[in-house]
Amino acid sequence: MADLLKLGVLISGNGSNLQSIIDHIEKGSLKAIINIVISNNTDAYGITRAKKHKIPVVILKNGDLKNKEDFDSELVKTLKDNGIELVILAGFMRILTPVFLKAFPHKIMNIHPALLPSFPGIHGQKQALEYGVKISGCTVHFVDEGVDTGPIIIQSAVQVFDDDTEETLAARILKEEHRIYPQAIQLFAEGKIEIKGRKVLIKNVRSNCHR
Ligand code: GRF
Q: Is 140 in the pocket of ligand 1 (CB under 6 A)?
A: no
The class of domain 110-211 in CATH terms is: alpha beta
Whose C-alpha lies nearest to ligand 1, atom 6?
Answer: 91
CATH fold for the domain made of 1-104: Rossmann fold (3.40.50)
Whose C-alpha lies nearest to ligand 1, atom 9?
Answer: 91
For CATH 3.40.50.170, the residue range(s) in the chain are 1-104, 110-211
Work out which ligand 1 atom sits closest to the CA atom of 20.
13
For residue 104, the model assigns a pLDDT of: 98
132's CB contacts (< 8 A; 6+ apart) are none
Q: Is 15 in the pocket of ligand 1 (CB under 6 A)?
A: yes
For residue 21, the model assigns a pLDDT of: 98
Q: How far is the CA of 100 from the centre of ligand 1 (A)?
A: 21
Q: How far is the CA of 134 from the centre of ligand 1 (A)?
A: 21
Buried b (16+ CB within 10 A) or exposed e, 31-55: ebebbbbbbbbeebbbbebbeeeeb
Work out which ligand 1 atom sits closest to the CA atom of 12.
12
Show the low-confidence residues of the chain (pLDDT under 50): 211
Q: Is 12 in the pocket of ligand 1 (CB under 6 A)?
A: no
HEC assignment per residue over 62-126? HHHCCCHHHHHHHHHHHHHHCCCCEEEECCCCCCCCHHHHHHCCCCEEEEECCCCCCCCCCCHHH
Whose C-alpha lies nearest to ligand 1, atom 1?
Answer: 91
Inter-axis angle of helices 16-26 and 45-52, nearest 10: 10
Whose C-alpha lies nearest to ligand 1, atom 7?
Answer: 91
Q: Is 155 in the pocket of ligand 1 (CB under 6 A)?
A: no
Q: How far is the CA of 161 from the centre of ligand 1 (A)?
A: 21
Predicted TM-score of the model (pTM): 0.95
Q: Is 17 in the pocket of ligand 1 (CB under 6 A)?
A: yes
For residue 180, the model assigns a pLDDT of: 98
Which residues participate in catalysis according to the annotation?
A: 112
For residue 1, the model assigns a pLDDT of: 55
